[in-house]
Each structure stands twice: as C-alpha cells, then as structure tokens.
Amino acid sequence: MSTRRDEYIEKMKLQLDDVNAKMSALEAKAQEAKAGAHEKYQAEMAKLREQSQLAIAKLDELRAAGEDSWETMVAEMEKLRDAFIRSFHYFKSQI
C-alpha cells in the first residue's frame, strides 16, 4: 500500500472515530431529554449510526481497493464523511 493511501485511510478513520466518540457522548445527553424529545433523539441517533456505518463501509472498500483505483473512491468517501459530520453537527445543535 502506498504511503499516501495509508495516510488518507488513517486520516479518514481518525475523523470517523472522533465523530463516533462525540456521538456516544451526545447520546448520553439525549438520554436525559423529556420523553417526547427522547424518542425524536433516538430516531435521529439511528440515522446518524446508519450514516456512520455507510462511511465505515466505504472506508473498508477504499482500504481493499487496488493501488490504481483507490483514488477514484476518494470523492465518494469524502461525500459520505461530510454528510455524516454535517448531520452530527445539526443533531448536536438541536439538543
């Protein structure tokens, strides 16, 4: 594996891990919400987890891709990561 590819994969992994850790902390805060709001937060957390899983799956695909094809996957990886991070920040702003 190329150094550039390894660095990119590690950078993406760290970013996803960071948002997932923050999401776990936020979930604890959402647990304290009133009953009606709690249900809404749970639904939003489920959407965030789904986005996280999609981004992790794409990262796994990128990791498995050949040297000649991994760069073509970068744009889609970044699109998934950005959507996940935007959704997280929006959810965080609602709590």
Query: SS3 string of the chain?
Result: CCHHHHHHHHHHHHHHHHHHHHHHHHHHHHHCCCHHHHHHHHHHHHHHHHHHHHHHHHHHHHHHCCCCCHHHHHHHHHHHHHHHHHHHHHHHHHC
pLDDT band at 42 (very low <50, low <70, confident <90, very high): confident
Per domain, the residue ranges of the chain are 3-94
Q: How far apart are CA 90 and CA 95, in angstroms?
A: 9
**Residues 24-41: tens digit of each pLDDT:** 888 877 777 777 777 888
**Residues 46-91: tens digit of each pLDDT:** 999 999 999 999 999 999 988 888 888 999 999 999 999 999 999 8
Return the pLDDT at 86.
95
Structure tokens at 69: 């094809």
Return the pLDDT at 92.
86
